[in-house]
Structure 1
Amino acid sequence: MRQEALDLLRRIGGAEDNAIDLAGAALSLALLDHPVPDLAPYRAHLAQMCADLAAIVDAGEADDLAGRIAAIRRVLVDLHGYAGDSETYEDLQNANLIRVIDRKRGLPVALGILMIHLARSQGWEICGLSFPGHFLIRMDLDGQRLILDPFEGGSICEPHTLRELLKQTAGLEAELSPEHYAPVSNREVLLRLQNNLKLRHLSTDQPAKALEVVEVMLLFAPDHIGLWRESGLLNAHAGKLTAAIAAFEHFMELARQRGASQALMQQTATLLQQLRSRLN
């Protein structure tokens, strides 16, 4: 099962973004940290939730945007009991879709993936947003757009709610800007999910575990320039000099292609020189 999950993530790394099955990819990521004998029960659960949503749609109860949101909420919250885990928010299980399904509790991004999966099963327009610190989603229909908070069961976020959320996560001086409403790709949603694990490992002084997460992230996001630099830094910290050099070299190649700042390029070149001298 683990090898199958790794192979799937590698295939995602070379796939077009719109071909990525978010929930399926998230289950593969979850399997790496929480091995189970078979993912079939979890896939069946996702399929059942989609069938529940289809039944509501067939009954004519999701004709407008408000009705679609209510239908998703009915399936996720009322029928299946999902909720944001406000009591043990920092628990790593909240970013693992297998454990989220087991416990019916999770982080905003994990619950958001479930909401996106449900909406897309009906062909509805939905996306994650680049809102900092708290994952939000947006649903669109006929020119109407609403921003939803998956952590609160898909509640609609009014402007004052967004301002309060932003100040909680980005500081009291932060103000809303268009970049906070920008849609993110499927790959970026998965990166955000895994970033929760990486940051928690770093905050608990477990750089080796953080490195494992980064290496998995690079499987499905091999062109993410920042991850290659993080890989170099974490490998260097672990004394894995050859791997660190290779990661920094790949970073430099991407950085040249994308016009990264000269200061960052020079800093990385200096790190490379130091690592090569240590290796020799």
Structure 2
Amino acid sequence: MGTLPDSEIALAETALLFARLDEPEADWRGARNHLSLLAREAAELSHWAGESAAAQAEALSGMLGARHDYSGDYETYDDLQNANLISVTERRRGLPISLGLIWLHCAEVAGWDCYGIDIPSHFILGLDADDGRVIIDVFASGQTLDDEDLENLLMRVQGSKPQRGGTIGRGRMGKRDVLLRLQRNIAHRRYKAKNLPGTLLCVEDMLRIAPETIALWQEAAVLNQQLDQMAAAVRCMGRVVALIPPGEDADVARATMRRLRSRLN
């Protein structure tokens, strides 16, 4: 997956592989069968849902929110099972990003232009059609958001009123961005729980699909250093030095690698 262009990434299949890495004994076959069922149902939606963004959003909401009861986990939000796709398909509950991934999987099968929108502390979807765009809050079972709803949501998660005419979040997210956001949720919760080995494993998983992301190699170097794994920290900084463009930041990276090497002796 790390070598593929974004458009060719199998979003749900990759998330399922991540889930298997975290929970090798979980019923991944059951999860994959369920995702296949959802794909078949999503393909049927495309035959009758209509061409408008609102109609397509309503069809997805009826299928995933109503028929299959997918919704946000309001009671145990920070539980790590909410970010594991196997657990999410079993419980029909999850984080905004893990639920959104399932919606994106189904929308892609239906042939609709649906994408993630990255906003702080939340994740929503945009769905475009000839008549415009609809914003979907998958955590609320697929509720569509008008301008006032969106403003209230942004106020709640960002703590300040969004500027009128400003862009929503960081715009349209690619598939790789969505997968990295999913894994970032896991890494953040593990780090808060002081589980440094688990955090490092999650960062290494992110590097599987984004092997040229300098910030991830830097993060891996820091975590290895905190775990007193100096040889691994040096290797990670070596990747930073190899990838980073010439300039002041490259000089800092080389100096950091020299310091780490000195601790090997």
Indicate the TM-score class for this superposition, using the shorter chain for normalisation: over 0.9
Return the alpha-carbon distance in structure 1 between the equivalents of residues 108 and 123 of structure 2. Answer: 18
Letter in 2 for 1:271: T
Return the alpha-carbon distance in structure 1 between the equivalents of residues 131 and 234 of structure 2. Answer: 49
- Structure 2 match to 1:32: 21
Q: Is the 8 A contact 2:52 2:131 kept in 1?
A: no
Local SS of the residue matching 1:178: coil
Query: C-alpha deviations, 1:53-103, integer Å up to 9, x for none?
Result: 333443x24342211111111111111111100110000000000000011
Q: Which residue among 85, 90, 96 is the counterpart of 2:84?
A: 96
Query: C-alpha deviations, 1:225-276, integer Å up to 9, x for none?
Result: 110000010011111111111111211222226x6xx2x4454334322211
Q: Which residue among 70, 81, 99 is the counterpart of 2:69?
A: 81
Whether 1:245 aligns to 2:255 is: no
Residues 126-275 of structure 1: matches in 2 within 5 Å? 126-172=114-160, 175=163, 177-178=166-167, 180=169, 182-256=171-245, 262=248, 264-275=249-260
Return the alpha-carbon distance in structure 1 between the equivalents of residues 193 and 163 of structure 2. Answer: 30
RMSD after superposition: 2.0
Q: Which residue among 44, 47, 56 is the counterpart of 1:55?
A: 44
Unaligned runs of 5+ in 1: 1-11
Return the alpha-carbon distance in structure 1 between the equivalents of residues 162 and 238 of structure 2. Answer: 36
What is the TM-score when the length of structure 2 is the normalising length?
Answer: 0.92
Percent of residue pairs identical: 35
Return the alpha-carbon distance in structure 2 between the equivalents of residues 173 and 152 of structure 1. Answer: 21
Unaligned runs of 5+ in 2: none
Q: Is the 8 A contact 2:154 2:161 kept in 1?
A: no
Letter in 2 for 1:269: R
Query: C-alpha deviations, 1:169-209, integer Å up to 9, x for none?
Result: 33336647326251111111000000001000111111111
Query: C-alpha deviations, 1:92-129, integer Å up to 9, x for none?
Result: 00000000001110000111011111111111111111
Letter in 1 for 2:264: L
Q: Is the 8 A contact 1:134 1:165 kept in 2?
A: no
- Structure 2 match to 1:8: none
- Report deviation, 1:46: 1.4
Single out whichever of 102-111 and 134-143 deviates more from structure 2: 134-143
Local SS of the residue matching 1:24: helix
- Report deviation, 1:214: 0.4
Return the alpha-carbon distance in structure 2 between the equivalents of residues 153 and 69 of structure 1. Answer: 11
Q: Is the 8 A contact 1:163 1:175 kept in 2?
A: no
Return the alpha-carbon distance in structure 2 between the equivalents of residues 181 and 235 of structure 1. Answer: 30
Number of residue-to-residue matches in the alignment: 264
Local SS of the residue matching 1:205: coil
